[in-house]
Structure 1
Amino acid sequence: MENADVLHVAMFPWLATGHLIPFMHLSKCLAQKGHTVSFISTPRNMDRLPKIPPHLSPLINLIRLPLPHVDGLPAHAESSADVPFHKQQLLKRTFDLLYSQVAAFLEDSRPDWIVYDYASHWLPQLAAQLGVSRAFFCLFNAAFMSFLGPPEALINGGSRSTAEDFTMVPKWVPFHSNVVYRLHEIAKNVESLSENLSGTPDTVRFGTVVAESDVVAIRTSAEFEPDWFNLLVELYRIPVVPVGFLPPELRDEEGEKDGKWVYMKQWLDKQGVNSVVFVAFGTEVSLTQKEVNELALGLEQSQLPFFWVLRNQSEPTQTKFPIGFEDRVKGRGIVHDGWAPQAKILSHNSIGGFLTHCGWNSVIEALGFGRVLILLPFLNDQGINARLLHGKRLGVEVARNERDGSFTRDSIAESVRMAMVSDLGESLRGTTKEMKGLFGDKDTNYHLVDGFIRLLRENRLSHTYGKI
């Protein structure tokens, strides 16, 4: 590669594990093509990242910026996983205080591009003043972003102000759709927005980063959701480039060093092919005691083997299982407390289905291995993802109370058996296996990444820098 074609790209993700990992994955893709990356985050988040392969480490520079403290947050909170859901907007207020440090870095290093997340609403204008090209790397799918709407509607507040407004198809969606929120899914989000603890609502953050970017890169493919992708292009009126799904690299998963994966694999190896349901709800969902009870009894009632990762409980020491549950499922079910190598577990041939919160990262991992989904959304984009996936016949949605989101052991057991073993679920299992090539094939996905890198190279700004 000629030096004139070599880029310096700065990456600045939001402070969440599910955002840090894909940003690092894209950074590795850039480095593999010979480009230099400055990966910007906080010290504790850097420590959580997978190790960079030795042949790429000279091209990926980790820029550690200390996170200022804001009253109301734990002293060492640097990630959404470190705080309960109701404090995440306060974490965004802290994140915004990184402005001066990021400005100093950009002025000193002068990258060709800055690639940022939705929370960095102040960064596009800063980069423009410095003559740095701007890309919003969107880690949500096109259906969710289209549901949110055009940037001007997001910035100005639009016509949706109540939770009920989000349970209806938006007026800008021109085709038939069932992709809407359930009332219980959106109520927490609307309540959080009304409190405005971050100082800037998420809707404004999303709208601003779209409106003030040169390009939007999105973690999806037009082949998977063509109607939604085409609508997004119309709504944004700037280049929207799919970068594919960035399927996980299993060597990035940790676990061997402390023996966790060893015992997990030993148990999984004893199970039949496609017989186990894997249960996990990401780094931000915290179950209530009642939800733990119903989920436990539902898994028991399903009579299927299960591997349940139970983590991030608000009061983990007080989480209790129904009387006798652990004895009754001994040998058939595992409840693992704490972190687990999710991609490695999903890749094991004993896993047949995934009971999931429908976070986009988790969905991508599961479909990349052809696992049928049991859909149990809680927060953020998860409800929209669940409707999209259910409509594409990639999973079974757990029946719940529309207003409070409660579910029963019966609904858990019925959904798990439908997805995993029922004759009625056979077509679902076949459809998800067909998705393995689209979501999991690295050549197909990296071809899309190459298109994005080509766009960066061909469209970087001439460096006529301004002053802040």
Structure 2
Amino acid sequence: MIPLLDLTAQLASSGVTVTVVVTPKNLHFLDRLLAAHPTSISALSLPFPTYPAIPAGVENLFQLPPDAFRFMLHALGELHAPLLRWFGSQSSTPSAIISDLFLGWTHHLASQLSIPRYVFSPCGALAISIVNSLWCEIPTRRNHDDDREIIQFPKIPNSPFYPWWQLSPLYQSYVEGDLVLEFIKDSFRANTVSDGLILNTFKELEGVYLDHLARELGHSRIWPIGPILPPAEIGAVGRGGSSSVPISGISAWLDTCQDRTVVFVCFGSQTLLSNKQLEELCLGLEKSGVKFILVVKDKIESDYGVLPIGFEDRVVGRGVVIRGWAPQVVILRHTAVGAYFTHCGWNSTLESIAAGVPMMAWPMGADQFVNATLIESELDIGVQVCEGDKAVLGSDELAQHLLKATSHEWTERRARAMALSKAAQDATTSGGSSFNNLEHFVSHLSK
């Protein structure tokens, strides 16, 4: 949601009038955006549709029961009718729909209204190439009991390949006969015939995969405009939730640290580590002796999210523990941060690249395995140290990785990360590739 809202701000600053469709419990995420652009951005709040597999009152990922993501996507398809009624009530029909790749059904809505629909990709060009290949070509395993069977993608540049268990859980469920996912298959295929594709990436980072997408889609209406970062009037603080440590306190502590000596440890907004994973993680941080910022969820369950007893007392002065949301962009941009231990979500990956910070990678699911390939094998701006949301990384092994990440051993890797940071900055400033692509898209809309 965050890069989609940042895109909205950029469109508004370019003279485009935007209505953001949102469900009631997420409406507050628009507060600062609406305050910054009161005349060009408005919100259309529609009730979250009822759906048999989702309990009443549930409308965000934290509240969903396990494996219910597919039901949420199917439920969102029920917004088609109320959106159609809203369009019919307008004195003039809006000129286009922009929706993310999970809402492919909006292509059919746009066709009914005789207006274009553009896909916004919250993942990178390599990842969406994999997604398109899965849902259009439907590759399967030869041995249905072998989760480690390799699935190859020879049509995609560099011929990426992944074990079956690392592919999209939605796709795995579809192949195994989940009929609910026929709707989702249609949605993903609709993305490939929509009127254009906007991506949160930049040409200098994923040019070969952008070229591949143009060939596969059969047109050049592809606009990489990333990295999409918060505009100055919105700011980087308070974008996703509350934090247990004020940004002033975090910045003040980082100011006391030498350059490139702090490891930032954060696994995104969705991952909740088990107590065993957290125990080894914290023990590894202690053994390494490195300075660190550790972000943990403020949601705690019996077997998840509980820090080892006494850990925070033992690392006072050397580490900062943040519960809840972390001002990640601000932290990564501080010169004291030398490495980022990350789950490789695309937002986090791009924010780290934009800040010139190399990564220790622990992909957990979704597109994160693909992003880890990009980080380690293709860009060499990081090292994968673990994989899978059930894996436990031993404390001794982790301590060694932490020490290497803050030592001279990562000097060349850090230099490559800084070079990519410069390329990202150049891309998004006047005359750069992403800057020009945004202008071209706005011009395309006006025509």
TM-score bracket relative to the smaller structure: 0.7 to 0.9
Deviations 1:229-271 (A, max 9, x none): 2111111113322222212336142289997223222322222
Match of 1:132 in 2: 115
Structure 1 partner of 2:191 = 209
Determine the structure 1 residue equivalent to 2:413: 428
Q: CA deviation at 1:159?
A: 4.4
Give the 3 Å change call, closer, same or farther, for CA 198–305 of structure 1 in structure 2. Answer: farther
The alignment partner of 1:453 has SS state of helix
Q: Is 2:444 aligned against 1:455?
A: yes
Note if contact 2:7-2:228 (Cα within 8 Å) is conserved in structure 1. yes
| Corresponding residue number in structure 2 for 1:168 | 151
Q: Structure 1: how far apart are the matches of 2:108 and 2:247?
A: 45
Give TM-score scaled by structure 2 length: 0.87
User: Which deviates further from its counterpart, 309-318 or 230-239?
Assistant: 309-318
Does the 8 Å CA contact 1:277/1:351 hold for their aligned counterparts?
yes
Residue 67 (structure 2) aligns with: 86
* Aligned CA distance change for structure 1 residues 447 and 386 (closer, same or farther; 3 Å): same
State the 1:457 CA deviation.
2.3
Q: 1:31 to 1:321 in 2, by over 3 A?
A: closer
Structure 1 position 121 matched with structure 2 position 104: yes
Cα offset, 1:62, TM superposition: 0.8
Percent identity for Structure 1 against Structure 2: 27
Q: 1:183 to 1:328 in 2, by over 3 A?
A: farther
Counterparts in 2 of 1:275 and 1:335: CA distance versus 1, 3 Å: same
* Distance across 2 between alignment mates of 1:278 and 1:102: 42
Check 1:292–1:258 CA distance in 2 against 1; reply closer, same or farther (3 A cut).
closer
Distance 1:366 1:314 in 2: 27
Distance in 1 separating the partners of 2:118 and 2:80 = 17
5+ long unaligned stretches in structure 2: none
Question: Retained in 2: the 8 A contact 1:367–1:440?
Answer: no
CA distance in 2: counterparts of 1:440 and 1:201, whole angstroms:
39
Asked if structure 2 preserves the Cα contact closer than 8 Å seen for 1:244 and 1:448, the reply is: no
Conserved 8 A contact 2:74-2:184: no
Q: 1:354 aligns with which of 337, 340, 363?
A: 340
Deviations 1:159-208 (A, max 9, x none): 468675874331323x434x433555338555554474854465543222
> 1:44-68 CA deviation, whole Å, 9 max, x = no partner?
2121235026552210011111112
CA contact (8 A) 1:419 1:429 kept: no
Q: Shift of the alpha carbon at 1:155?
A: 4.4
Count of aligned residue pairs for this structure pair: 432
What CA distance in whole angstroms lies between the structure 1 residues aligned with 2:383 and 2:236? Answer: 30
Bigger relative CO (Cα 8 Å, ≥ 6 apart): 1
How far is the alpha carbon of 1:226 from its aligned partner?
2.1
Equivalent position SS for 1:355 = strand
Question: CA separation in 1, counterparts of 2:394 and 2:171?
Answer: 26
Structure 1 CA distance for aligned equivalents of residues 416 and 444 of structure 2: 33
Equivalence for 1:49: 30
Match of 2:80 among 99, 109, 115: 99
TM-score by length of 1: 0.83
Structure 1 stretch displaced more, 341-350 or 184-193: 184-193
Which region of structure 1 is more displaced relative to structure 2, 444-453 or 113-122?
444-453
- Indicate the RMSD between aligned Cα atoms, in angstroms: 2.9
Q: Is the 8 A contact 2:364 2:389 kept in 1?
A: no
Corresponding residue SS for 1:66? coil
Q: Within 2, Cα distance between the matches of 1:344 and 1:355?
A: 16
Q: Distance in 1 between matches of 2:397 and 2:83?
A: 48
Gaps of 5+ in 1: 1-19, 459-468
Shift of 1:314: 6.1
For residue 42 of structure 2, give the secondary structure of its aligned residue in structure 1. Answer: strand
1:439 and 2:428 correspond: no
- CA distance in structure 2 between the aligned counterparts of 1:311 and 1:257, rounded to whole angstroms: 10
Distance 1:256 1:293, change over 3 A: closer
Q: Which amino acid aligns with 2:15?
A: G
Output the amino acid matched with 2:445.
Answer: L
For 1:331-342, what aligned pairs fall within 5 Å after superposition?
331-342=317-328
CA 1:187–1:167 in 2, change beyond 3 Å: closer, same or farther?
farther
Distance 1:203 1:114, change over 3 A: same
Residues 259 and 420 of structure 1, relative CA distance in 2, 3 Å threshold: closer
Distance 2:123 2:60 in 1: 18
Segments ≥4 residues shifted beyond 6 Å: 255-259
Closer/same/farther in 2, CA of residues 217 and 359 from structure 1, 3 Å limit: same
Match of 2:129 in 1: 146
Q: Secondary structure at the match of 1:451?
A: helix
- Contact 2:236-2:329 at 8 Å conserved across structures: no
> Is 1:62 equivalent to 2:46 in the alignment?
no
Which residue of structure 2 lines up, in the alignment, with residue 243 of structure 1?
A: 225
1:1-80 matches, within 5 Å, as: 20-49=1-30, 51-52=32-33, 54=35, 56-80=37-61
Contact 1:372 1:420 in 2 (8 A): no
